[in-house]
Amino acid sequence: MKKGLMLCIALFSLLAVVTQYYLMLANSTHSVFETSIRFFSYFTILSNTIVAVYFTYLTYNFLIHKENIQFSFGTLSAITVYITIVGLVYQFLLRQTWNPAGMQKVADETLHSLNPLLVIIFWFLHIKTNKLPYSQIKYWLVFPLLYLAFVLIRGHYSNFYPYPFLDVPGLGLKKVTINCLGMALFFYLIAAMYIWFANKIVNRK
Q: Per residue in 37-65, pLDDT tens?
A: 999 999 999 999 999 999 999 988 888 87
Residue 97 near residue 164 (C-beta atoms within 8 A): yes
Quick one: pLDDT at residue 62? 80
With b meaning 16 or more CB within 10 Å and e meaning fewer, what string describes 191-205? beebbeebeeeeeee
Q: What is the pLDDT of residues 184-202, one digit of tens each?
A: 999 999 999 999 999 988 7
Q: What is the pLDDT of residues 78-128, one digit of tens each?
A: 999 999 999 999 999 999 988 999 999 999 999 999 999 999 999 999 887
Give 205's pLDDT tier (boundaries 50, 70, 90): low
Structural domain boundaries in the chain: 2-204
CB half-sphere exposure, 165, CA atoms < 13 A: 16
Quick one: pLDDT at residue 1? 66
If you average pLDDT over every residue of the chain, what do you get? 93
Kindly report the CA angle at 137 between 84 and 57, in degrees rounded to 5? 60
pLDDT of 69 strictly over 70:
no
Mean pLDDT of 177-182: 97
pLDDT of 67 strictly over 70:
no
Q: Say how far apart CA 42 and CA 37 lie, in whole Å.
A: 9
Q: What is the pLDDT of residues 120-140, one digit of tens each?
A: 999 999 887 778 999 999 999
Quick one: pLDDT at residue 11? 96
Q: What is the pLDDT of residues 143-178, one digit of tens each?
A: 999 999 999 999 999 999 999 999 999 999 999 999
